[in-house]
Amino acid sequence: MHGEIIAIGDELVSGKTVNTTSSFAARKLFDSGYSIRRITVVGDDIPLIEDCLHKAIERARFLIITGGLGPTADDITNEAVARALSLPLRENQQILKKISECEQHHGISYDETFRRKLSMLPEGAEVLNPEGHAAGYMLMHAGIPLFFLPGVPNQLEDHVVKQVIPRLREILGAGKSVIQKTFKIFGLSEIEVNARLSMIESRYQGLSIGYYPNFPEVHVTVTLKGESSEETRNACSDACRAIKHALGLYVIAEDNDTLESVTGRLLVERGAMVSVAESCTGGLLGQRLTDVSGSSAWFDRGVTTYTNRAKEEMLGVPHELIEKHGAVSAEVAVRMAEGIRRLSGSAYALSITGIAGPTGGTDRKPVGTVFIALSTPEKTKALRFFFPGGRDKVRTTAAETALDWLRRNLTDGSYIPGYKPS
Amino acid sequence: MHGEIIAIGDELVSGKTVNTTSSFAARKLFDSGYSIRRITVVGDDIPLIEDCLHKAIERARFLIITGGLGPTADDITNEAVARALSLPLRENQQILKKISECEQHHGISYDETFRRKLSMLPEGAEVLNPEGHAAGYMLMHAGIPLFFLPGVPNQLEDHVVKQVIPRLREILGAGKSVIQKTFKIFGLSEIEVNARLSMIESRYQGLSIGYYPNFPEVHVTVTLKGESSEETRNACSDACRAIKHALGLYVIAEDNDTLESVTGRLLVERGAMVSVAESCTGGLLGQRLTDVSGSSAWFDRGVTTYTNRAKEEMLGVPHELIEKHGAVSAEVAVRMAEGIRRLSGSAYALSITGIAGPTGGTDRKPVGTVFIALSTPEKTKALRFFFPGGRDKVRTTAAETALDWLRRNLTDGSYIPGYKPS
């Protein structure tokens, strides 16, 4: 059931655009039991595309070709396919109709080049979604389905889910059954996670454990592929239990959950809300908490007090305290958290103040120094951290650490974050 | 000067991890005048890696192979290379030394498998950065340099910039000169941008214009490659001028600038600061403004008033106003912007209140309805927008539109944002 992806576009081989679409397609296919063996990325170059098509057709059971279907001069996929497979290009009535509808809708008129570019498809092409806007199509060639999909992410995603996978089921039959479980870990490095799990991997045969750094987290995937007997399913559950045991509270979320969705659920369970006071993260912590739909049930408010005056005026941090300890200090972090907790009346509050860099560091407080405070109905505690990396990484790790600290506190009442304080 | 990239890893072909590293390498090489013709992604499969290596060596002037150099069982690049090129594996003393240092530093002891996995390199391998932590290496084969690099993003990036490009210059000579200019556009679709620029593309020979949707922006790249005479350089400047003229204020930034860095500079120029009041974006607007180092010079503070009570208490939005018009309304947006402007004393303020979804929409205010207000020393104005797409897209477009509105106002004093109000 192995397929291949060919992604076409100068923007991909020149590194201008990251190839997220191939990853999306590969993941959706994998989850449905069809896997991708090879992804080839080439520029807008007809002979090169021809070569890739020929070779892939010899190897794969199905092919997905993305990009180069648009109306601009560099869109040459149709021409390359026609040449590679010796097929004439024919005007497609469904696409012409869509173009007219689009013209009417927007009150514009496309020129003939544009119209021809979009509507001339290789003979035998079946438009995948005649109702939709993007003209992905399927061609059967030597018994192999070739799917030509638009390169624009949301159009491609829609085609993969609604068109490609259902058709693969019809043509190739159901994919192999796959049991897959993902654990998201924060606070341990990839090597540390690996060290804790290496014994488990060897204990269960037929299971594969993958380690994927996903900054600032490490994701661990347990995969069981093939005929799933009750025995193998039990082995998988056993292995997952063993992994959770080995990693304990370092597991921040499983599968589609995230640190913020898990934290939100813990807050809802105890009917509590959280508010945040940020400085160097500039709103990132609030943004993450509100990434989750329904977050109004647990997130009350946030302030980003970037200047000292804002810290004093909005959160009541005493001027003298900032003078004495500096804005980046445990004392100020505590007052920020307590300030927003008092203002909001939330049960929980988090604050972050630090030096994200690249400027602003000193010998005693180098770039990467961040103080985080957690204020709960019991007490307020601030810790000093040192996060390595550039501005982005410092901010990302700071927000993650703050969220993780709250999650741990809501789980076992402790005041120990996953990332070790410095 | 064409090279190829081979990226190795099950996590890449299964779509678990997006292949950002190949894009990074390709872009850096392109900017230095070496370009990548093909990127091949394969899983941890020795025969497949062998096959890819053989074919790529026949075609390319240089090769970059990423991933599979780590200590875990699925790291098999060294073994595949040894087989493909019929080279014995030899213990590398530099790497052994690094492992010992690492053990001392962390107070741990690695097992023999780990040590062997990392230190056995194909004969002739030259470690690229003996001082660093990751063991990338170079092998000369049939006159072609093969660079084997770690797959972890920051390690790879460091290797490409500091090791690969300088060595390519030594081995292959300087790359072709490249003049490249990027324009970032917001408020026009890819088709609209293309329609405005299509005449320019045909007017200048030898220039290529690329269109890259980069949600919510469209990026346009002008590339001039080859021997750069004064004539071609002038043609490039002319074309860039024509592009800027055709797109006007829709160009939000050029090259490495971003909407936020440009907006920040405009604020600094007039010695003004901005503050923000957010609801559905949850801190995203503040986060974007503070993405730029030095943003403390123009960003004063932000509040995220997620609940109605927070809007009343922190920003002084009257309770009756919310009752009458709803929290998502022009009236509330105006009061939010004026509230944060008064609190902060900033010359400029932005506010956003909307329905990001997927729940919370009504017939009169469906998901995607967002009110944005801009408050300046002259006046406060709110506009109603409808942003399509899911929660993420609504939030991203809302923050971008607010920033863009401020940028335009600081540029020409108008109160017209790039994204059309609904």
Domains of chain B: 2-172 (3.40.980.10), 178-254 (3.30.70.2860), 259-412 (3.90.950.20)
Q: For chain B, say whether A201 makes contact (Cβ under 8 Å).
A: yes
The pLDDT of residue A227: 65
Question: In this predicted structure, what is the pLDDT of residue B156?
Answer: 92
pLDDT tens-digit profile of A326-367? 999 999 999 999 999 999 999 999 999 999 999 999 999 999
pLDDT of residue A98: 85
Structure tokens at A173: 């039959």
pLDDT score of A205 more than 90:
no
**Chain A: closest CA distance from residue B127 (Å):** 21
pLDDT band of A162, cuts 50, 70, 90: very high
pLDDT tens digits, one per residue of A270-329: 999 999 999 999 999 999 999 999 999 999 999 999 999 999 999 999 999 999 999 999
CA–CA separation, A415 vs A418, rounded Å? 10
- What is the crossing angle of helices B259-269 and B391-412, to 10°? 30
Beta bridge partners of A219: A184, A212
Average pLDDT, chain A: 92
Q: How far apart are CA B119 and CA B99, in angstroms?
A: 9
Q: What is the pLDDT of residue B208?
A: 80
Chain B residues 387-406 with CB within 8 Å of chain A: 389, 391-392
What is the C-alpha to C-alpha distance for residues B310 and B279, in angstroms, rounded to an integer? 10
Question: Contact A305/B301, CB-based, under 8 Å?
Answer: yes
Q: Which residue has the tokens 């804002």?
A: A310
**Which of A160, A114, A113 shows the shortest CA–CA distance to A138?**
A160
Distance from CA of A358 to the nearest CA of B (A): 7
Distance from CA of B135 to the nearest CA of A (A): 15
Average pLDDT over residues A214-236: 81
| Contacting residues of A for B20, CB less than 8 Å apart | 18
Q: How confident is the model at residue B74 (pLDDT cuts 50, 70, 90)?
A: confident
More confident residue, B172 or B375: B375
Interface contact A20, partner B, CB < 8 A: yes
pLDDT in tens, A62-84: 999 999 988 777 789 999 999 99
* Residue B298: CB atoms within 10 Å: 26
Q: How far apart are CA A181 and CA B46, in angstroms?
A: 26
> What pLDDT, in 10s, does the model give residues A120-160?
999 999 999 887 666 799 999 989 999 999 998 888 999 99
Residue A26, chain B, CB below 8 Å: the answer is yes
Is the pLDDT score of A397 beyond 80? Answer: yes
- Nearest in space to B36 (alpha carbons), one of A6, A15, A38: A15
Which residues of chain B make contact with A201, given a CB cutoff of 8 A? 73
Q: What is the pLDDT of residue B134?
A: 67
Residue with the larger pLDDT of the pair A106 and A279: A279
Euclidean distance between CA atoms B149 and B134, whole angstroms: 8
pLDDT at A106: 72
- Which residue type, as a one-letter code, is found at position B335? R
- Alpha carbon of A279: minimum distance to chain B alpha carbons (Å): 9
Q: Which residues in chain B are contacts of A134 at CB distance < 8 A?
A: none
pLDDT at A226: 63
Distance (Å, whole) CA B92 – CA A46: 44
Burial of B327 (0-12, 13-18, 19+ CB in 10 A): buried
pLDDT at position B31 is 84
The whole-angstrom separation of Cα A341 and Cα A11 is: 48
Measure the CA–CA gap between B409 and B413, rounded to whole angstroms.
4
Contact residues, chain A, for B10 at CB < 8 Å:
210
pLDDT of res. A179: 78
Model confidence, pTM: 0.83
Test mutation, B201, B255, B303, B340, chain A, max A CBs within 10 A: B303
Nearest-CA distance from B323 to chain A in Å? 18
Q: Is A71 left (phi over 0), alpha (psi -120 to 50) or beta?
A: alpha
Chain A (84-143) residues lying within 8 Å, Cβ to Cβ, of chain B: none
- Give the pLDDT score at A228: 62
In terms of DSSP H, where are the helices of B131-258? 153-159, 165-172, 190-203, 230-247
Instruction: Provide the pLDDT for residue B211.
Output: 81
Which positions 312-341 of A are in contact with B (Cβ < 8 Å)?
A: 313-314
Token pair belonging to B41: 């992604």
Beta carbons within 10 angstroms of residue A368's beta carbon: 22
Helices (H) and strands (E) in chain A, counts: 16, 17
Neighbours of A352 (CB within 10 A): 28
For chain B positions 365-384, those within 8 Å of chain A (CB to CB) are: none
More confident residue, B252 or A201: B252
Nearest CA in chain B to A399: B287
pLDDT single digits (tens) B274-332? 999 999 999 999 999 999 999 999 999 999 999 999 999 999 999 999 999 999 999 99
Identify the closest residue of chain A to B307 by CA–CA distance.
A300
Contacts of A35 in chain B (CB under 8 A): 13-14
User: Do B313 and A343 make contact, defined as CB atoms within 8 angstroms?
Assistant: yes
Quote the pLDDT of residue B228: 62
Task: Give the 3-state secondary structure of residue B227.
Answer: coil
- Taking a C-beta distance cutoff of 8 angstroms, is the pair B66, B21 a contact? yes
Which of A22, A41, A213 is the closest to B38 by Cβ? A41
Instruction: Closest CB to A13: pick one of B39, B282, B392.
Output: B39
pLDDT number for residue A133: 66
Using the Cβ of A307 and the Cβ atoms of chain B, whether some distance falls under 8 Å is answered with yes
pLDDT average, residue stretch B45-64? 95
Phi, psi of B406 (to 5 degrees): -60, -45
Tell me which H or E stretch contains B120.
strand B120-122
| Residue in chain B nearest A388 by alpha carbon | B154
Question: Looking at residue B152, what DSSP letter applies?
Answer: S
pLDDT tens-digit profile of B300-309?
Answer: 999 999 999 9
Interface contacts A/B by beta carbons within 8 Å: 255
Instruction: Map A239-283 to HEC letters.
Output: HHHHHHHHHHHHEEEECCCCHHHHHHHHHHHCCCCEEEEECCCCC
Contacting residues of B for A30, CB less than 8 Å apart = 14-15
Residues of chain B with Cβ-Cβ distance to A25 below 8 Å are 15
Q: What token pair was written down for B72? A: 């875990």
State how far the Cα of B139 lies from the Cα of B127, in Å rounded to an integer.
9
CB-nearest partner of B304 from A301, A357, A358: A301
Residue of A nearest to B255 (CA): A16
Which chain A residues are within 8 Å of B219, Cβ to Cβ?
16
What's the pLDDT score for residue A46? 94
B325: burial class by Cβ within 10 Å (0-12, 13-18, 19+)? middle
Query: Does A277 contact chain B (CB < 8 Å)?
Result: no
Strand partners, B383: B372
- Across B382-403, average pLDDT: 96
B interface test, pick of A199, A301, A328, A397 with most B CB neighbours within 10 Å: A301
| B32/A contact by beta carbon, under 8 A | no
Which tokens belong to A81?
């396919």
| Interchain proximity A213–B39, CB inside 8 Å | no
Distance from CA of A336 to the nearest CA of B (A): 14
List, as ranges, residues 140-169 from A with C-beta within 8 Å of B. 152-154
Residues of A in contact with B289 (CB under 8 A): 282
Please enumerate in sequence order all residues whose Cβ is within 8 A of that of A358, keeping only pairs 6 or more positions apart, or say none.
Answer: A367, A390, A391, B293
Which among A152, A213, A294 has CB closest to B152? A213
Question: What's the whole-number mean pLDDT along residues B205-209?
Answer: 77
Q: Is the pLDDT of residue B198 over 90?
A: no
Contact A16 B219 (CB under 8 A): yes
pLDDT value at position A71? 78
Of the two residues A119 and A227, the one the predictor is more confident about is: A119
Chain A CB within 8 Å of residue B22 CB: yes
